[in-house]
Amino acid sequence: MKSAFYAAILAYIAQHAAAHATFQQLWVAGVDQGTTCARVPSSNSPVTDVTSADMACNAGTSAVSSNCAVTAGSTVTIEMHQQPNDRSCSNEAIGGAHYGPVLAYLSSVSDAKTATGTDGGWFKIFEDTWSSAGASGSDDNWGTKDLNKCCGKMDVLIPADIAPGDYLLRAEAIALHSAGSAGGAQMYMTCYQITVTGSGNATPETVSFPGAYAASDPGLLINIYQSMSAYEAPGPAVYSGGSTKVAGGDTCPATGAAAATLVPTTSSSAATTSVIVSSKAASTSQVATTQVQPVITSTAAATSSATATSVASSAKPSSTGGSTCERRRRLRRRS
């Protein structure tokens, strides 16, 4: 009996560890750059302390010798996997029911090969967060589910109006399976070193990492095992030249020879999934229903984003000790 119990514990630990992940590869305009400009973390473990300097570019990272050249207004594709150099689509990009939003930020720096990312200057250019689909938040659509569906890939539009120069591109997935208590949210981020060409001169408002998030933010302190009517991602609103994706859309990134440049849309009807969303910058909600356009929509033109106001309930999942993942498994066995 004891041996079976310990075997179950070991199996749980193995599954829990394997569920962790890192953003690794970068595609530029559909061309695979591998990890040449990625500061890939030495571990696939998450950052959970929002006050840590690791919130900028993760722990155990160091600058690399190459930058990826990117044209302002073009599309890059970030790619996440559980283990280094394992790009198999048969494995989930981030497993273990690690549901939550996917976000991307830029920071203008004098030299991407030496910048630490802790000096501030970050502005959000993308988010794929949440849309309603089931009886509870864990059954709903999430950005990380889109990653899993698309072999770890997510398209991100580089704003057309930003100034040329070096930038750090910060890709982040947030797992909310243990976010029922403060400090339970898990942040997985990687910084890519890019050099942007173009003729823009925009100066977006910026935030700092650490500093942009608080453990009590409704997007980080939330029980996703109850029914949800809305969700608000942590951090600032998406910059007007950036883009949002409606969670649960059917379109995956086109990489390689089939890739096409992502073009900002001029109407919020570009969403492929019907979902009520509410912009942080707007006071009214709107329903996007058209199903014929790309799932990425430009926040410069759309009045809505997937950063709907969160219902962060004080109620927590039933607790019998151990992690949220383990509690859920016990509940399933009892039923």
For the packed helices 2-18 and 324-334, what is the interaxial angle rounded to 10 degrees? 130
Q: What is the pLDDT at residue 218?
A: 98
Name the amino acid, one letter, at 205: E
Dihedral, CA atoms, 49, 54, 57, 58, nearest 10 degrees? -80
Q: What is the pLDDT at residue 254?
A: 82
CATH 2.70.50.70 fits 2-334, yes or no: yes
Residue 316: phi, psi to the nearest 5? -120, 160
Q: What are the residue boundaries of the structural domains of the chain, listed by start?
A: 2-334
Report d(CA 129, CA 232) in Å as an integer: 8
Q: What is the pLDDT at residue 3?
A: 54
Q: Label residues 252-268 b or e (16+ Cβ within 10 Å = b).
A: bbbbeeebeebebbeeb
Per-residue pLDDT of the chain (335 residues; tens, 9 = 90+): 555 544 443 344 444 444 699 999 999 999 999 999 999 999 999 999 999 999 999 998 999 999 999 999 999 999 999 999 889 999 999 998 999 999 999 999 999 999 999 999 999 999 999 999 988 999 999 999 999 999 999 999 999 999 999 999 999 999 999 999 999 999 999 999 999 999 999 999 999 999 999 999 999 999 999 999 999 999 999 999 999 999 998 789 987 544 444 444 333 333 333 232 333 333 333 333 333 233 444 444 443 333 333 333 333 333 334 444 444 444 444 44
Name the amino acid, one letter, at 239: Y
Q: What is the pLDDT at residue 256?
A: 53
**Whole-structure pTM value:** 0.76
Report d(CA 267, CA 288) in Å as an integer: 10
Q: What is the pLDDT at residue 170?
A: 99
Q: What is the pLDDT at residue 250?
A: 79
Question: Nearest to residue 274, comparing CAs of 297, 295, 290?
Answer: 290
